[in-house]
Structure 1
Amino acid sequence: MSEGKRRYKATIDGETYTIIGQKPQEHMRVVAETVDDQLNQLKEMTKGLDKEKRAILLAINAVSDQLAMRKELNEIKEKYKQLEENQEN
């Protein structure tokens, strides 16, 4: 394993996974718990779907949230840039 990488074992939707990454263990724990919680919510809301389809829905939701946050961050950066330019004038 390359330097700086950590291994973390997590149980998500009843399955054990080994997650490898550079983030601290606490971060990986929160991520795994969040994924497990969201999968459990989807399981309750979509009783007819199998695990794979629920996982795809979770991925779609995660990417949608990521894109929305990226857009919001870019808007904040643009406002900040405009404020800096106005202060210079």
Structure 2
Amino acid sequence: MGNKRRFKAVIDGQSYTIVGNKSTAHMQAVTELMNQQLAQLQKLAPSMTKQEAATLLAFNAISDQLDKAAELDRLQKTQTPTDN
């Protein structure tokens, strides 16, 4: 399963301990990006609650994940020789 690491992150002012097998640099990059995106959402919609911003951020992340999976699938299909 790989080496599990504990990573302490502060996301939108809240402290979290995240356990995973990603590098510290990866976890820091994710934390920074989350904080940037949450700040941008709060700037664009100041009346949005923290819960609403977190939900929208999660929705956007899953949407991006689906887009990337579809693109990867498309690329794999174009590189796979067809049986004729």
Residue 11 of structure 1: CA displacement?
A: 1.1
Residue 62 of structure 1: CA displacement?
A: 0.3
Q: CA RMSD in A?
A: 1.9
Larger Rg computed on CA atoms: 1
Equivalent positions of 1:49-68 (< 5 A) are 49-68=48-67
Structure with more of its chain in helix, by fraction: 1
Structure 1 stretches of 4+ with a deviation exceeding 2 A read: none
- Within 2, Cα distance between the matches of 1:34 and 1:8? 16
- Percent of aligned pairs sharing the same letter: 42
Provide TM-score, normalisation by structure 2: 0.91
| Structure 1, unpaired ranges of 5+ | none
**Deviation readout 1:34-55 (Å, 9 max, x if unpaired):** 1111111111011111100000
- Within 1, Cα distance between the matches of 2:18 and 2:33? 14
Task: Say whether residues 1:37 and 2:36 are aligned partners.
Answer: yes
Provide TM-score, normalisation by structure 1: 0.86
Q: How many residue pairs end up in the alignment?
A: 84
| Structure 2, unpaired ranges of 5+ | none
